[in-house]
Amino acid sequence: MSRAEREKQIEVLHELFDDVGMGILVDFRGMTVSDLTSFRTQLRDQEATFKVVKNRLCIRAVEGTPFEAVVEHFAGPVGILYTNSDPVAPAKVLADLIKEKKNLSPKVGILAGKVISIDEIKMLANLPDRDTLVAQTLATCQAPASNFVRLMTEIPTSLVRVLEAVRNRKEAA
């Protein structure tokens, strides 16, 4: 690779690292090409990408980006899982693959410009996806209104039941 090509690749990586919403550095030792291809396909469905690049290029490219805080983790075979959309879905795909392939392991991550640990990556993978969280939030917001409507309809319903009971007693007597 010529010097100009390296500089161009460093520039592209720098833009990627500077613009990424969530990224996880992954040690992918022992993964076969077919495993990585399957993993990339699953990530593509979740609007995420897994990229393997040279550590020397990454170390130069992270200067001035949020990934600069994790530069010491660019050692050995490192792949970068990144996305600018929902961070939960790619984390779930990674967690499922880690359960299946014991030799795959995350090193560290970046979420919204902050460093996250392996435990926080696991917690992220255990969260419900974005659509479920939105639905839960809407249900929580609607609960007081629906409870109020139910309460307001219960008052006339109770009155009707009482009147029906009084009528039944008078008919029985």
Phi then psi for residue 64, to 5 deg, are: 80, 15
Q: Which of 25, 30, 13, 4 is nearest to 111 (CA)?
A: 25
Over residues 102-146, the pLDDT tens digits come to 777 788 888 877 778 777 777 777 777 778 878 888 888 888 888
Phi then psi for residue 168, to 5 deg, are: -65, -40
Give me Rg for the CA atoms of the chain: 27
Over residues 13-68, the pLDDT tens digits come to 877 777 778 888 888 777 878 888 888 888 888 888 888 888 888 888 878 777 77
